[in-house]
Amino acid sequence: MVSTDSISYGEVYLGLLIYYLLKVVLMKVSTENLLKGLVNLMCCFVPGKKSRKRLRYELVGIKKERNDLLDAGFTIDGETITTPQGVKIDISNIKDHPLYLVKVVFVKSEYNLNIKRDSILIDIGMNRAAVSLLFAADENVKKVYAYEPFKPTFEVAKKNLQLNPQLSEKINAFCFGLGKSEKTLEMPYMDDATGGMSTTHEVCKDQEGIKKETVVVKDAAEVIGGILEENKDKHIIVKCDCEGAEFEIFERLKEKDLIGKLDVVMMEYHFENPDRLIDILTEKTFAVQTKIGSRRSKTGYIYAVRMTEK
């Protein structure tokens, strides 16, 4: 009997490699499944759950996401993705899951609406302008008002707007956030996680690669109240994904009795139970559907439609 003490990790790795190769030859296992098996094998020697997850994504996941986009009619030219509708999105500086944003917005249709009357979109948390461009491509959306408080992210959004000049004519983009009052803040920021930055929570303060960014926040009621006044004849759609600021924004709109002037709300909630937001909307006759993203991190989605006339 051979002592297990004399077997090295290298020998175990080689044995498993031979095993997977034999499966391909004898059992006609697909090369895709072989790759998955080999990657899982490699991950046995990689310490740290996050590192293993990243390795699996970079070796297997990103290829699958790319193929899914191509199968859905997207074209990929270097670091620019063009949707079947002709919207161009630059992914050049997205280091973590570069195709994820495009997949969520344009494939999974998290924000897809069939719009039959003249409407406007208020995009709170513009990020890279993907949702703003999605709505601007709809002929029934006459104008988009988009807000992004972090300047580095805003500059990336501007690049995507410049790639789509025929759509960006509809989009009014502003480099400030919305909240319960006007203020200037110093908040942590990570270039690798632009979609997860917050004006209400220091979400990345203990991580590597952070820097401080000065952000301006304006009174949500004052800003949105002005938009509503200008667009009384339009259907008002709100998309809100602002990493925790949604609670103070909607409480402020409630204070000024503006909730009932909205028609559709599509919101991602963060860090807290969504009951307060649901109550604010249902009090103004909105029908509300929720979808849990993660119970542990208290994230999820709220979709709401007002059921009565304004």
3-state helix, strand, coil in the chain (%, to 5): 40, 25, 35
pLDDT > 80? residue 276: yes
More confident residue, 65 or 289: 289
pLDDT of residue 6: 47
pLDDT > 80? residue 17: no
Which of 42, 255, 254 shows the shortest CA–CA distance to 265?
Answer: 254
CA distance 227 to 62: 40
Q: Tell me the DSSP string of 239-289.
A: EE--TTTHHHHHHHHHHTT-GGG--EEEEEE-SS-THHHHHHHHTTTEEEE
Using DSSP's 3-state secondary structure scheme, residue 205 falls into coil
Mean of the per-residue pLDDT values for the chain?
84
Q: Are 243 and 215 in contact (CB under 8 A)?
A: no
pLDDT bracket for residue 45 (50, 70, 90): low
Considering the domain delimited by 116-306, tell me its CATH architecture: 3-Layer(aba) Sandwich (3.40)
Q: What average pLDDT does the segment 50-73 reach?
A: 71
pLDDT of residue 211: 84
More confident residue, 207 or 297: 297
**167-226 tens-digit pLDDT:** 999 999 999 999 999 999 998 887 776 667 777 767 666 666 688 899 999 999 999 999
Q: What average pLDDT does the segment 71-91 reach?
A: 92
List of residues 6+ apart from 166 with CB closer than 8 A: none
pTM: 0.81
Give the pairing type, strands 141-147 and 171-174: parallel
Residue 299's H or E segment, with its range, is: strand 299-306
pLDDT of residue 4: 44
Which of 93-97, 131-135, 262-266 shows the lowest mean pLDDT across its residues?
93-97
pLDDT of residue 203: 67
What percent of the chain is predicted at pLDDT more than 90?
A: 56
Q: What average pLDDT does the segment 232-259 reach?
A: 96
pLDDT of residue 110: 85
Q: Where are the alpha helices (DSSP H) in the chain?
A: 9-27, 31-43, 49-56, 62-71, 100-102, 130-136, 151-163, 165-168, 220-230, 246-255, 275-282
Domain ranges of the chain: 4-45, 56-109, 116-306
pLDDT of residue 2: 42
pLDDT > 90? residue 135: yes
pLDDT > 70? residue 55: no
Using DSSP's 3-state secondary structure scheme, residue 36 falls into helix
* Tokens 């992914």 belong to residue: 91
List of residues 6+ apart from 210 with CB closer than 8 A: 188, 189, 190, 204
pLDDT of residue 180: 95
pLDDT of residue 188: 84
More confident residue, 24 or 132: 132
* Tokens 């304004």 belong to residue: 310
**249-262 tens-digit pLDDT:** 999 999 999 999 99
